[in-house]
A = this chain, B = another copy of it.
């Protein structure tokens, strides 16, 4: 089996040690020989902290894996077999702006959905398409595994504007598998989940444990074997769940509990303690830890950062592709009819069969109107977002925001967009 060159764009991210831990753990099956960490000058300091930690981790493992850290992205991409993208355009400072401008206008401020996610997509899509162009030149057969958020929108942009083989990844699905395995005290292999939706807006429409359907346990809360309490953020009203007929994910709260979330966010906004503020703090602490020359493994503190099983999702996917396993993964891919009520060309997050030559989404069952209506409007918003990001058309940007269920009007959309464009000028090439 051919050895693997892996390029990680955004290699200076605090998440990288988790990914490396996975690389080391699966070294027996996945012959990664080179790991290239890429970052931009603004991230140079962090990149070298990570590089040093990575080298200590590899050394401890005794494996023959070479770590390279560079700001020359093309060099890292050239001849790579897999490219993982986990970069953040404008870093946490711009995330903070996304949140604060949203809240200033009275709407939910969040990294991946609503006005915040929209602005992040506008900043990110031009960069990922540049990376794809480089890949088309320097590594045309490589797979692009995209973690950069909003992962569904960013992946859709690549699917529509590049020929590179791409797949979008999120730890949301794998978390559900792990949780249900724990709740029912079975191995993960015994858990089967049918997902339908798009990234950060997936519904579970079926749950099987050892081949038996158990979704009613969750929807009614009536099974002894099932304890909702174990599932974090699972505070749904049981009547609501029952009539929904499906299990929502954590991000559904922005839509189903908009007023409650908004209230909480306003408090954070007033106290200058939004999620971005918190993450900045955690990040700073992590890098202090990482600099410890004694540290030669992923510190536990990283788990609080929110990326649990993120490494496992990526490494297992690379294994399935590389070893041609035909295993099922829940991924962001071109719809191709898997969700019949969405456009063929849209990016969806569903179960897929992974083969070396191809990733094939599995047909989902016809969604109920409860699911369908919200899913369709959010997908239409995402399509317009991709169009706005790739054309720089301000009118389309306003249409995208106006359509979003969390934005109350076209006028408000325009005001928010104007403020956001002003702050993001350095990252955009718009008129």
Contacts and interface: CB of A to CB of B under 8 A. Distances in A.
A38 interface: no
Contact of A212 (B357, B373, B396): B357
B362 A353 contact: yes
Contact of A353 (B340, B353, B384): B353
A398 B240 contact: yes
A362 B208 CA distance: 20
A294 interface: no
A224 interface: no
Interface in A378-425: 378-381, 383-384, 387, 393-396, 398-399, 402-403, 405, 408-412, 414
A374 B377 contact: yes
A239 interface: yes
Contacts of A369: 380-381, 383-384, 387, 399, 403
A229 to B, nearest CB: 20
* Assembly stoichiometry (copies): 4
Given A192-B355, A383-B369, A409 B376 contact: no
A260 interface: yes
A396 B243 contact: yes
A419 B335 CA distance: 42
Contact of A380 (B192, B370, B414): B370
Interface in A342-385: 353, 355-357, 360-363, 369-370, 372-374, 376-381, 383-384
What 8 pairs between A and B have smallest CB-CB spacing?
A243-B395, A373-B380, A211-B356, A376-B376, A369-B380, A373-B377, A377-B377, A369-B383
